[in-house]
Amino acid sequence: MESLNFDPVSIAVSDDYLVVGGQHSELAVTSLKDPRNTKITYIGGSINNYVVFDAQKKGCRQRDSGYMEDSVSHEDGMHMSSQHPHLLLCNNDHTIRIVSVPEINVLFEVQLPTAVNYASVSPDQTKVVAVGDSNEVFLFNKRGSDLELVTTLTGSSDAAFSCDWNQVSDIFAVGSQDGIVNVWDTRSTHKLAILETYQRGRTKGACRNVKFSPSGSVDLLAYSEVSISGKSTLFTICNQMPSAMYNECVCLGKQQPAD
């Protein structure tokens, strides 16, 4: 991709495409096979806060509980994408849109009561969790290019920045502005765990990102915050034991390169 004529705020990449979202509803799609082939269009009424592809890499194993409608299933349980993945587009205009790539056609749109900052697709492709500029957490069932709202949960006392699923798609976490990380099991509306950033209560203590480990015998949950000095990022890693109790939380400081 060559230089863009807009300021990028979000980015996503698949096996075949690179997508960049902009501050004024811009969306640029570039073929990785032909980087000179870039299409720029406008989708949404405001900032495209977050973009993410809804399909895993080809050949990635998924649970048998569900998979994308446009996939094929092999005898060994391997689900392979037969078409290009779709793109989830989170916009400040209170919408989540599912967009085809590379055609850039809007296949589905859902309106929420708040600006949408982030959305995460479960590894088995059957669920989506989304968060935004309120303490509401939106859980959807996903069937192909359609989303159906299942429930709206209450997070902490502030807006949320990030969310993520564990490797078997039954637990998700949400990181918030007030430094709280809430963890839910999809089988209950009660919180599985409530975690805090190291600097909870301070301006720099906002949780900026949450990520589960993609594989392993247990789930590792990492969440980050900006340090007091602003020159490093603090990462906290929690080990979720099979009993679903989070423990052994360790705060790590990762220093940025010197100027």
Does residue 163 sit within a domain? no
Which residue is associated with the tokens 């919180």?
191
pLDDT tens figures, 72-115: 333 333 333 446 789 999 999 999 999 999 999 999 999 999 99
192 neighbors 168 (Cβ within 8 angstroms) = no
Does residue 55 sit within a domain? yes
Does residue 243 sit within a domain? no
User: What does the pLDDT read at residue 82?
Assistant: 44
CA distance 89 to 21: 8
Does residue 205 sit within a domain? no
Does residue 132 sit within a domain? yes
User: What does the pLDDT read at residue 205?
Assistant: 82
List the domain range (segments joined by +) for residue 91: 8-154
User: What does the pLDDT read at residue 62?
Assistant: 39
Q: Which residues of the chain have pLDDT under 70?
A: 1-2, 55-83, 203-204, 227-235, 239-259
User: What does the pLDDT read at residue 1?
Assistant: 58
User: What does the pLDDT read at residue 190?
Assistant: 93
| CATH number, domain containing residue 142 | 2.130.10.10
User: What does the pLDDT read at residue 91?
Assistant: 98
Does residue 104 sit within a domain? yes
To the nearest 10°, report the CA torsion of 93, 94, 98, 102: 20
Q: Is the pTM of this model over 0.95?
A: no
60 neighbors 68 (Cβ within 8 angstroms) = no
Q: How far is CA 208 from CA 30, 95, 125, 137, 236, in A?
A: 27, 21, 24, 16, 12
Does residue 16 sit within a domain? yes
223 neighbors 234 (Cβ within 8 angstroms) = no
- Three-state helix/strand/coil letters over 116-130: EEEEEECCCCCEEEE
Could you give the number of structural domains in the chain? 1
User: What does the pLDDT read at residue 39?
Assistant: 92
Say how far residue 191 (Cα) sits from the centre of its chain.
Answer: 19
Does residue 36 sit within a domain? yes
